[in-house]
């Protein structure tokens, strides 16, 4: 009996200690120990060159934030392939929202996919941070849960074209754009208005579709009008083929590209034909700002080639981390939404970052040109 009584007292003491430890642990722990984020990226399809570098940027940012203990919780990002299509983008969003119960979503890569998938998140009240959607319309106006850190073509192209005109002095242009994609069509619309505003005469306009691979007819028609510059709005794969075929036809004049050119894949696939191509960009790769230098070093350490798309994706993770911090380290969907509204002058690889009242990005763009096989910032 005495042994049994001793065992009972020991058991009671053990339970008391366990309860005290549990109470202490629960009191010290935040509301959630992990913030689960979904990332819908184009890992296959026409936008795959962008999705690959976006994934590298996101993974690098998550590792840096978790290793640095920037938050009293861990970030977990679930990455899914949106296939560069509306249909697959919708499926991925539904999985994130209903099965994975994510707190927020990054992506999708293309504006076309976003116009189909974002309304689902808006309806379910899940914050979305677009990191590469540049269509001036049709994205953040979907609703108050949709935000983006990517500058629109309207914010980038005018300055880039103005600088190009000052350097090259062209007065006429031939224009070629993809008419089956929201992104490339939106880029064309801004390009056309910008050329008009700069007093540049458009001598001919040609179109193509994403599956096209032969652009001889369009290029022949354009160069036959003897423009002083070729202006192109295209995704990276199409852009590389267009520039290559233009050079093969004997075009030696300047080429101005839209945001779709901002990928190492464009330079790799176009080779020497890409030399001299000029394009506006949301990311100044030469910026000496500490946040940009940390990004460059982190990407280099992973053996990844940084570009505008990885910089925007990396920044997107840091913006969500900042939103969580500003929400008192809470990870609920409404908490993150409220936190996003408080993000202001955040140091990022893109520069000092804030949101406009319409939830679009606000930071300085830059202009870059292909020289010796790499993008270099034009001062």
Omega cis (within 30) before 99: no
The backbone region for 163, taken as left when phi is positive above 0, alpha when psi lies in -120 to 50, beta otherwise, is: alpha
**Exposure string (b/e) for 219-256, b if CB count within 10 Å is 16 or more?**
beebbeeebbbbbbbbbbbbbbbbbbbbbeeebeebbb
- Is 134:111 a contact under the CB 8 Å cutoff? yes
Does residue 2 lie within any of the structural domains?
Answer: no
Q: In sequence order, what are the residues at sequence separation of 6 or more whose Cβ sits closer than 8 angstroms to the Cβ of residue 69?
A: none
Q: What is the pLDDT of residue 23?
A: 29
Task: For residue 155, give every residue at least 6 positions away whose Cβ sits within 8 Å of its Cβ, in sequence order, or none.
Answer: 360, 361, 365
Q: Are residues 169 and 146 in the same domain?
A: no
Could you tell me the CA-to-CA distances from 232 to 55, 136, 161, 218, 301 in Å, in that order? 26, 17, 12, 12, 34
pLDDT of amino acid 33: 83
Residue 377 forms part of a structural domain: no
Asked if residue 224 and residue 272 are part of one domain, the reply reads yes
The confidence score (pLDDT) of residue 44 equals 97
Domain count, the chain: 2
User: What is the pLDDT at residue 16?
Assistant: 37
- Amino acid 293: pLDDT: 97
Please, are residues 264 and 305 in contact by the beta-carbon 8 Å criterion? Answer: yes
For residue 20, tell me if it sits in a domain. Answer: no
- Asked if residue 124 and residue 61 are part of one domain, the reply reads yes
Q: What is the pLDDT of residues 132-178, one digit of tens each?
A: 999 888 899 999 999 999 999 999 999 999 999 998 999 999 999 99
Of 227, 110, 109, the C-alpha closest to 176 is 227
CA–CA distance, 250 with 239 (Å, rounded to integer):
17
pLDDT of residue 32: 55
The two structure tokens encoding residue 18: 């366990």
**List of the chain residues with pLDDT < 70:** 1-32
Pick the last residue of a domain from 235, 262, 281.
281
- Are residues 291 and 225 located together in one domain of the fold? no
What pLDDT is stored for residue 13 in this prediction? 36
- Tell whether 192 and 269 lie within a shared domain: yes
Q: What is the CATH number of the domain that holds 180?
A: 3.40.50.2300
Same domain, 169 and 277: yes
Q: Which domain holds residue 178?
A: 154-281
Of 232, 258, 281, the last residue of a domain is 281
137 and 62 in a common domain: yes
The Cβ of residue 297 has, within 10 Å, a number of other Cβ atoms equal to 11
Which of 281, 309, 331 is at the close of a domain? 281
Q: Are 161 and 277 members of one domain? A: yes
Q: Give dist(CA 258, CA 156) in Å, integer.
A: 9
Please indicate, yes or no, whether residues 109 and 75 belong to a single structural domain of this protein.
yes
Evaluate whether residue 368 is within a structural domain. no
Place of tokens 């819908």: 40
What is the pLDDT, as a whole number, of residue 320?
A: 97
Q: What are all long-range contacts of 300-303, with beta carbons under 8 Å and residues at least 24 apart?
A: 302/56, 302/59, 302/60
Are 276 and 163 contained in the same domain?
yes
- Nearest CA-CA partner of 43 in 267, 309, 270: 309
Q: Are residues 244 and 309 in the same domain?
A: no
In the sheet where 229-233 sits, what is the strand order? 201-208, 172-178, 229-233, 255-257, 278-281, 366-371, 374-377
What is the C-alpha separation between 217 and 194, in angstroms, rounded?
Answer: 26
> Is position 5 within any domain?
no
What are 195's two structure tokens? 């050329």
Residues 269 and 307 in one domain: no
| Residue at 3 is within a domain | no
């Amino acid at each position: 009996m005495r042994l049994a009584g001793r065992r009972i007292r020991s058991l009671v003491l053990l339970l008391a200690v366990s309860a005290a430890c549990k109470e202490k642990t629960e009191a010290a722990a935040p509301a959630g120990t992990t913030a689960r984020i979904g990332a819908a990226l184009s890992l296959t399809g026409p936008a795959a060159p962008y999705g690959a570098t976006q994934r590298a940027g996101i993974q690098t940012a998550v590792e840096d934030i978790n290793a640095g203990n920037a938050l009293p919780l861990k970030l977990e990002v679930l990455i899914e392939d949106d296939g560069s299509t509306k249909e697959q983008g919708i499926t991925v969003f539904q999985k994130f929202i209903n099965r994975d119960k994510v707190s927020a979503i990054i992506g999708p890569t293309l504006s076309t996919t976003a116009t189909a998938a974002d309304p689902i998140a808006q309806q379910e009240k899940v914050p979305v941070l677009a990191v590469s959607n540049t269509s001036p319309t049709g994205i953040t106006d979907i609703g108050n849960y949709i935000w983006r850190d990517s500058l629109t073509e309207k914010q980038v192209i005018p300055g880039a074209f103005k600088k190009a005109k000052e350097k090259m002095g062209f007065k006429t242009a031939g224009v070629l754009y993809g008419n089956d994609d929201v992104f490339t069509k939106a880029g064309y619309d801004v390009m056309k208005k910008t050329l008009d505003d700069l007093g540049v005469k458009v001598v001919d306009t040609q179109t193509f579709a994403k599956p096209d691979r032969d652009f001889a007819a369009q290029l022949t028609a354009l160069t036959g009008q003897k423009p002083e510059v070729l202006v192109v709005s295209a995704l990276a794969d199409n852009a590389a083929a267009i520039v290559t075929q233009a050079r093969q036809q004997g075009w030696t004049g300047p080429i101005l590209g839209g945001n779709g050119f901002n990928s190492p894949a464009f330079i790799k696939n176009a080779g020497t034909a890409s030399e001299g191509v000029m394009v506006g960009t949301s990311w100044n790769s030469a910026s000496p700002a500490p946040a940009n230098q940390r990004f460059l070093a982190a990407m280099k350490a992973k053996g990844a080639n940084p570009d505008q798309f990885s910089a925007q994706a990396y920044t997107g993770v840091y913006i969500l981390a900042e939103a969580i911090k500003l929400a008192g380290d809470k990870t609920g969907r409404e908490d993150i939404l409220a936190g996003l509204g408080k993000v202001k002058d955040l140091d990022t690889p893109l520069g000092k970052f804030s949101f406009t009242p319409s939830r679009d990005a606000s930071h300085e763009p830059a202009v870059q040109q292909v020289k010796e096989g790499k993008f270099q910032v034009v001062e």
